[in-house]
Amino acid sequence: MHTMWKGSISFGLVNIPIKMFASTESKDIRFKYIHAVCGTPVKNIRTCPTCNKEISWEETAKGYEYEPGRFVVIKDEDLEDISPDMTKTIDIVDFVSLAEIDPIYFDKTYYLSPQDTGTKAYILLQKAMNDTDKIAIAKISIRTKQSLAAVRVYKNLLVLETIFYPDEIRSVDLVPGVPQNAETDSKELSMAVQLIDNLTTVFDPAKYTDDYRQALQELLNKKIDGEEVKTAPTRPQNNIIDLMKALQASVEQTGAPEKKAKKTAKPQEKEKVKVKTTV
């Protein structure tokens, strides 16, 4: 696994040398634009519409559009003057409970491992955070960006999650059409709760797959092998528009046989069902 950042965790007066690794990778299938006539990849060419000519990277500059069509030019030295202190340190500023942070704040996750001289302090921080059930709020500078982050225990290691600043989270008041103080039908609510109960299970990430990516890969493989591509059958449309009928049908469709048996079985039959389930 490629090390993307080296530095240390600053924990009070304790300094823990660490290495950081990307915890995820994109599995998206990417396409290139090609010339449909000859199959050659198309080049992206930088042109200036005013000068009507192709330009090189050396002729470009950073510009901020503060009004439509009006820009201020920003030079590299301008950014250097205001750049945050690019220390290789994850500065822990607070410890909080994970439950206090809504998932909307989380951005990207990185694995952290100790460097050769940081193993003892790394394990100590990991165990202390695990025992107190707390996560750390920290600041880190990656490349030219200073980010807010959360350091927490994941399985047998520490992970760092960059999190958005509060002013980067859009207000829910900006979302149009959200009903306010709407009343719900008690029967419909009861049915919806039952539907949730039928669909409730232990989270197992292995059961979820990217169906579209798998279908796309199969399509590409067939294309590469020169096989005929058949159109997939269309899914049947559900024409139920009555909410109560839709809920009832959903509950009946998702009701597990074991749950139905437990609800309908007589007392002496319940034990049989229970024994069969545990075998």
Assess whether 266 and 193 both reside in one domain: yes
Assess whether 116 and 193 both reside in one domain: no
User: Within a domain: residue 95?
Assistant: yes
Q: How many independent structural domains does the chain possess?
A: 2
Best CA proximity match to 13, nearest among 119, 115, 91: 91
Q: Please compute the mean of the pLDDT values over residues 97-109 and round it to a whole number.
A: 93
Assess whether 195 and 161 both reside in one domain: no
User: Within a domain: residue 41?
Assistant: no
232 phi and psi, to 5 degrees? -70, 145
- CA-CA distance, 161 to 147, in Å (whole number)? 10
- CA-CA distance, 14 to 19, in Å (whole number)? 16
In angstroms, the Cα distances linking 226 to 160, 218, 219, 222, 223 are: 46, 12, 10, 6, 5
User: Within a domain: residue 16?
Assistant: yes
CATH code where residue 22 lies: 2.40.290.10
Structure confidence by residue, pLDDT tens digits, 156-215? 999 999 999 999 999 999 889 888 888 888 888 898 898 888 888 888 888 888 888 888
Assess whether 87 and 160 both reside in one domain: yes
Domain residue limits at 274: 184-199+244-279
User: Within a domain: residue 264?
Assistant: yes
- Please state the pTM of the whole predicted model: 0.70
Structure confidence by residue, pLDDT tens digits, 46-83? 999 999 999 988 899 999 999 999 999 988 888 777 76
Task: Write the CB contacts of 4 (distance below 8 Å, at least 6 apart in sequence).
Answer: 20, 21, 22, 110
Best CA proximity match to 90, nearest among 120, 110, 61, 62: 110
Assess whether 157 and 272 both reside in one domain: no
User: Within a domain: residue 50?
Assistant: no
Assess whether 114 and 195 both reside in one domain: no
pLDDT reported for residue 216: 84
Assess whether 96 and 159 both reside in one domain: yes
Best CA proximity match to 243, nearest among 196, 197, 184, 198: 184
User: Within a domain: residue 42?
Assistant: no
Assess whether 188 and 162 both reside in one domain: no
